[in-house]
Chains A and B, each alone.
Chain A
């Protein structure tokens, strides 16, 4: 990064990286959503076809992918609430950095809970 940009409020700091993270997770979630509507649409075609596709979602490798997807959803959700506070709360811009740490702590806690539950179900075998 150039020396002249180091003094700006935004570039290279928490605000920029949360913006990058919001975009990347948003695109990932949107692409999954397109696929997810298509796979669910199989319930209208054939019950066995739907079950066959859903059973691939129940394999350990896909469970890891689902865990990553939920990680993206949780970050996008909590950071989205932070964005709303930045826009609508009078002190929002002043505390945006502290709120990002709040987002990260909340993200770690909720994601850990989800990952333990989901991976133990997926790897537990049925």
Chain B
């Protein structure tokens, strides 16, 4: 014999289940898909970055201003680093956004934490992009032969 228990079973709803109104369409599904696609791309980009900067030649001992200038003289490495910057920052930001949504119960706390996160993300992405596109091998202090 089965017993039918009418819903809702309790008057009290745990605050973690009472979040802001949601009408985000397919955003969360696209974010989920982006994590998988960018993850695969980032494995290629970051492994290539680590091999070229830390494994081959003198590894970390060879890294200097001249090393960076040599890499960014090649448009392929400029594109490589730009793609890595954007994908890693968006992948990481979405990951931290998920963690904030999981652990910050209060609506205002979540809003604040995500606000700080998005400001930091925009700042770092814009800064990194400008550095790659406006790189000057003859910046102050440069001892490269062409300067």
Contact = CB atoms under 8 A, between A and B. Distances in A.
Contacts of B93: 30
Contacts of B120: 34
Contacts of A118: 54-55, 59-60
A1 interface: no
A73 B65 contact: no
A33 B43 contact: no
Interface residues of A, number: 40
Interface string B57-101: 011110111001100000000000000010011001101100100
Interface stretch (A3-11, A46-54, A89-97, A98-106): A46-54
A37 B124 contact: yes
A23 interface: yes
Given A54-B63, A84-B40, A46 B141 contact: yes
Interface string A15-29: 000000001001101
Interface stretch (B1-9, B15-23, B105-113, B130-138): B130-138
Interface residues on B, range: 35 or more
The B interface, classified by DSSP as helix, strand, loop or mixed, is helix
A118 B57 CA distance: 11
Interface in B5-59: 36, 39-40, 42-43, 46-47, 50, 54-55, 58-59
Contacts of A45: 139-140
Nearest to B72: A43
B59 A117 contact: yes
A49 B142 CA distance: 10
B60 A122 contact: yes
B115 interface: no
Contacts of B95: 23, 26-27, 30
B139 to A, nearest CB: 6
Interface of B: 36, 39-40, 42-43, 46-47, 50, 54-55, 58-61, 63-65, 68-69, 85, 88-89, 92-93, 95-96, 99, 120, 124, 127-128, 130-131, 134-136, 139-143
16 contacts: A30-B92, A30-B93, A30-B95, A33-B89, A37-B85, A37-B124, A40-B128, A43-B69, A44-B139, A45-B139, A54-B64, A80-B43, A117-B59, A118-B54, A121-B60, A122-B59
